[in-house]
Every structure is written in C-alpha cells, then in structure tokens.
Amino acid sequence: MTLSIQDLYDRLQLVLADPDDAWIHGVNTLEQAGAQDLCFAEDASQAAAVASSAAALVLVGEAFPEVVGKRLLRVAEPRNLFFEIAVWFAPVAASQGIHPSASVHPTAQLGEDVEVGAGAVVDGETCVGSGSRIGPGSYLGIGVRIGNDCLIGPNVSILRDSTLGDRCILHPGVRIGGDGFGFRWDGTGHRKVPQLGRVVIEDDVEIGCNSCVDRATLGMTRIGRGTKIDNLVQVGHNVDIGPHSILVSQSGVAGSSKLGQGVVVAGQVAISDHVTVGDGARIGGQAGVVKDIPAGVAVFGTPARPVKQALRESAALIRLPALLKQVERQQQTIDRLERRLSELDGGSSSASSGPASSPDALSPGFGSGDEID
C-alpha cells in the first residue's frame, strides 16, 4: 500500500497545513526508516533520533519538542495511532479458495470466501465461518466450529468438538483439543482417564507457534475473549483463562486452574493445578505459583510471593556468602576466646589444688616450726 501524506491526513480527518507531495510506502523504526516511511516517537529523549531519521513523517506526542527540518504529526497517543496505521500496510493476500489437494468432508460447512490451503483436511460436521483461512497442512477434526475471519496458520491441529470464536489467529504448529494429561493409578500401572470434554476459544484470541491447549476431562477448557498467548505455552485440561489476559512464552498452566480477567503471566512461569489467580494479577518471569493469588497483586519468585518481599529476600540471598564468612570469622574468634578462658580456668584450678593452697605456701621462708617474734 502507498499513501500520500495528504491521503493520510484525510483518512485521519486532519487538516494538512502545508501541502506536501511526499508519499508513505511503509512503517519502520526511527533508526531503520527510509525516506518514504512513517515512524513514531513517544518521549522527548528521542528528539535526537528523530532529527537523524530519514523518515517522511513522525508521529509524536503533543508536547514533543520541535525538530528542525522534520515533519511531525502531533497526536495524543502516537504509539497507538502508529499501530492503527500499520494495519493499513500489513499484506493481505486475496483468498485462494479451496486448494485442489485439500480434503473437505462432504458434511463440512464452509462460509463465503473461505480459504483451505494445500494438503489441509476439514473433517466431517465441521463448520468454518465466512472469511476464515485454513493454512496448508492444517487439520480440523470432527465437529469443530471456526468463527468468521479467523486465520489458522500452517500445520495447525484443531481436534474434535473444539470451538473458535470470530477473528481468532492460530500461528503455525498450534495444537487445540489434544487429550489432557489425565491418568489414574490402579495398583499395577497408570491407566488413562478418558478426556471427554472440549476446548472453547472465544473471540479475538491469538495463540503463538507451537502452543497447546488441552481438552477438558469433562466440561470445557476455556480461553476468554481477547486473550493473547505467546509461543510454546501449555494450557492444561479444564483451565479457565479470563478475558484479555497475556501468557508469555514457555509458561504453563496446570489442570483446573483459573485465571481472572486481565492477568499477565510472564515467561517461563509455572502455575500449579487447582490454583486461582485473581483479576489483574501479574506474575513475574520464572515464578512458581503453588497457591491462590489475590486480584491485583504482583508476585515473583518460587514459591510466588509479593514482589517487594521476593526482592528483599533475593537481596538477602545475594549477601548470604559474605554473611557466612563473617559468621565463620566470628566463630573462630569465639573459639579462640573459649580456649583462652579454658587455659586460664585450668591454671586457676592447678594453683588452688597445689602447695600454694597450704598454710606453709602462704608464708614463704617460714617452716612449720618457725615462729614470728
């Protein structure tokens, strides 16, 4: 897509004070921008970067300092507007329809403008909403429901009876609806527990590459609307994740745990089974969550605890080797003092039991028969 600066202002319903025949061909960072790119800057500290950038136009905040020789567009929220405009430049290929090598079951129902890529399989009694795209090599199992305008990437598996809402994005390698990790010990071995539930993914959810959402043992595993899940995330059976939550790469949520609305789970976090995390809670990277977290609380560490407490404990742990050396030195000093005291006590005991304790010893130079005149 290519826009003149005048077209851009018109789309934003703004008035261009000085006519300009420059064109915008894309968006980029300040440092890497070309002469036909749009950029943004949020902070006055970026003024030097703006001055040295080749960008055609820079979105800045209303209080951003003037930069000589640069065209600036002052707006209330430059970052948000920048990414709204960036959508205009995102490439969108026209629908290719049903590839000849795709397999679509006769009982499957496809909406208007649905694309099914090469080698993809759409199984029986599956419904795919209008405008959705199924990538090459992907599989939609029996009874799967896909909403409108979804993007299912290459090599995605969505297994039986799973449901996706509208505008969901599943990146390559995602697995939805695999069996939950359920086994029982019968005294001789681990016996599989049938996983008879399903997965429900609500509107506007995005799931990154190679992440997995397991089906419920009974009932459902649910991902709330607007939630965003990074690459390599594991969501266990019967987990319930509230709306607009964030799960960062390599995190895992064990079975039957519940996350509220707007929860942020940082990278490599492990959440144990049957744990409840309240609305708006934030869990720091590599934390281990083994008990409930109240709403709005930020936690860190293993076991997860309030951030200030965890940081104090971490700081104390860093000082521990020096403190141990100090204690060792003090113990050595105490040992020396104890030995010295023991030596002194031993000398006193020897003196009290020897000749010095006899009457003669107390009067040196006088024999027992001597008399004092």
Please tell me the distance from the alpha carbon of residue 105 to that of residue 83, in angstroms, as a whole number.
Answer: 39
Is residue 11 over pLDDT 70?
A: yes
**pLDDT score for 350:** 59
**Lowest mean pLDDT: which of 9-13, 104-108, 196-200?**
9-13
Contact between residue 92 and residue 106 where contact means Cβ atoms under 8 Å apart: no
Ordered by where they begin, the domains of the chain are 3-89 (3.40.1390.10), 159-299 (2.160.10.10)
Mean pLDDT within 65-83? 93
Q: What is the pTM of this model?
A: 0.82
**pLDDT score for 228:** 99
Residue 127's CB is within 10 A of a number of other CB atoms, namely: 17
pLDDT digits (tens, 9 = 90+) for 14-67: 887 776 778 999 999 999 999 999 999 999 999 999 999 999 999 999 999 999
* DSSP string across 267-322: TT-EE-TT-EE-TT-EE-TT-EE-S-B-TT-EEETTTTEEHHHHHHHHHHHHHHHH
Please tell me the distance from the alpha carbon of residue 355 to that of residue 331, in angstroms, as a whole number.
Answer: 38
pLDDT digits (tens, 9 = 90+) for 208-239: 999 999 999 999 999 999 999 999 999 999 99
Contact between residue 213 and residue 201 where contact means Cβ atoms under 8 Å apart: yes
The residue with tokens 């409840």 is 276
**102 residue type, one letter:** A
Is residue 365 over pLDDT 70?
A: no
**pLDDT score for 13:** 86
Query: Nearest-5° angle of CA 220, CA 185, CA 188?
Result: 150
Q: Which two tokens stand for residue 91?
A: 């490439």
3 state DSSP class of 241: strand
Please tell me the distance from the alpha carbon of residue 238 to that of residue 261, in angstroms, as a whole number.
Answer: 17
Residue 220's CB is within 10 A of a number of other CB atoms, namely: 17
Q: Which of 12-16, 74-78, 156-160, 366-370 has the highest mean pLDDT?
A: 156-160
Please tell me the distance from the alpha carbon of residue 319 to that of residue 289, in angstroms, as a whole number.
Answer: 25
Q: What proportion of the chain, given as a percentage, has pLDDT over 70?
A: 92
Question: Does the annotation count 25 as an active-site position?
Answer: no
**pLDDT score for 9:** 87
Query: Which of 213, 272, 201 lies closest to 237 in space, CA to CA?
Result: 213
Catalytic residue among 171, 190, 237, 274: 237
Is the four-CA dihedral 89, 93, 94, 98 of positive or negative sign?
negative
| Residue 362 binned pLDDT confidence (cut-offs 50, 70, 90) | very low
pLDDT digits (tens, 9 = 90+) for 145-165: 999 999 999 999 999 999 999
pLDDT digits (tens, 9 = 90+) for 273-310: 999 999 999 999 999 999 999 999 999 999 999 999 98
